[in-house]
């Protein structure tokens, strides 16, 4: 199957109002060009150096989304051009994004990552931390950051019930924050959840943005 036909197949399964992030990490430039020629403009990467190289070489109307675990010392490399940072998982990281965004003279769009999976290896705020952060209105300490919503990953497993309950939990947190703390903030409207194996469940549970890699580009080769 070609990338072009994979995209057509995925697009058929995603309602039009849902954003598709084509996760191109570990895939070469020409794979992205093929997806670009098929009409895709939003690409997700998880390594700073890899994303920055691709940004420099590829068409400038691509929206680059950073979806990986971001280290504070690397924030400065992506802030000048990144469209959305999905995985903001600590306040320490927000401090650095705000600082670099100020330097670059731009407002950087971010999603707060919520830890919903059972695996300890996954990152993110837990619900209590998130509520504490919002209740005390600490968001106002970061004027160069726009919080556009939440992101989460379900447990890596084949049990549909577990995945569904985790996505529902995330959707509930999202709705709670939206109706209590972000009422005045129209930009808080994105819920990034769903990958190749679970995007249909995520959409049923209220996802607004799916991040799909291997179903589009094939399996990744990690060196
Ligand atoms: C790699 C990755 C994806 C894409 O995963 P696939 O299973 O290949 O679709 C989505 N989200 C995050 C955060 C990732 O790291």
Q: Is position 221 within any domain?
A: no
Residue environment code for 108-140, b if the CB has 16+ CB neighbours within 10 A, otherwise e? bbbbbbbbbbeeeebbbbebebbbebbeeeebe
Q: Is position 222 within any domain?
A: no
d(CA 193, CA 209): 6
Question: Band of the pLDDT at 123, cuts 50, 70, 90?
Answer: confident
Q: Is position 45 within any domain?
A: yes
Lowest mean pLDDT among 47-56, 79-88, 173-182: 173-182
Atom of ligand 1 nearest to the CA of 195: 9
Q: Mean pLDDT of all residues in the chain?
A: 95
Structure confidence at residue 59 (pLDDT): 98
State whether the beta carbon of 194 lies less than 6 angstroms from ligand 1: no
Condensed to tens digits (0 to 9), the pLDDT of residues 95-120 reads 999 999 999 999 999 999 999 888 87
Atom of ligand 1 nearest to the CA of 23: 4
Q: Is position 34 within any domain?
A: yes
CATH of the domain at 165: 3.20.20.10
| Percent over 70 (pLDDT), the chain | 100
Domain count, the chain: 1
The range of the structural domain enclosing residue 201 comes to 3-216
Q: Is position 132 within any domain?
A: yes
Structure confidence at residue 117 (pLDDT): 84
Three-state DSSP at 169 gives: helix
Condensed to tens digits (0 to 9), the pLDDT of residues 148-188 reads 999 999 999 999 999 999 999 999 999 999 998 888 888 99
What spacing in Å lies between the alpha carbon of 122 and ligand 1's midpoint?
A: 13
- Predicted structure pTM score: 0.96
Structure confidence at residue 223 (pLDDT): 64
Q: Is position 164 within any domain?
A: yes
Atom of ligand 1 nearest to the CA of 151: 13
Residue environment code for 38-61, b if the CB has 16+ CB neighbours within 10 A, otherwise e? bebebbbbbebeebbebbeebeee
Structure confidence at residue 172 (pLDDT): 97
């Amino acid at each position: 199957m070609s990338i072009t036909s994979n995209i057509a197949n995925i697009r058929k399964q995603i309602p039009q109002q849902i954003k598709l992030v084509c996760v191109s990490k570990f895939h070469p430039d020409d794979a992205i060009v093929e997806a670009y020629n098929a009409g895709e403009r939003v690409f997700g990467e998880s390594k700073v150096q890899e994303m920055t190289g691709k940004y420099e070489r590829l068409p400038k109307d691509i929206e680059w989304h950073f979806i990986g675990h971001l280290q504070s010392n690397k924030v400065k490399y992506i802030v000048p051009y990144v469209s959305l940072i999905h995985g903001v998982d600590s306040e320490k990281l927000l401090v650095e994004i705000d600082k670099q965004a100020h330097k670059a003279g731009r407002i950087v769009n971010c999603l707060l990552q919520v830890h919903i999976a059972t695996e300890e290896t996954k990152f993110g705020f837990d619900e209590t931390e998130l509520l504490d952060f919002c209740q005390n209105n600490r968001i106002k300490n970061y004027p160069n950051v726009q919080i556009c919503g939440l992101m989460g990953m379900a447990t890596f497993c084949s049990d549909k019930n577990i995945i569904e309950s985790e996505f529902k939990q995330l959707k509930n947190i999202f709705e709670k924050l939206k109706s209590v703390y972000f009422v005045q903030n129209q930009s808080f409207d994105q819920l990034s959840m769903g990958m190749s194996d679970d995007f249909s469940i995520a959409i049923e549970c209220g996802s607004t943005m799916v991040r799909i890699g291997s179903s589009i580009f094939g399996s990744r080769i990690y060196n």
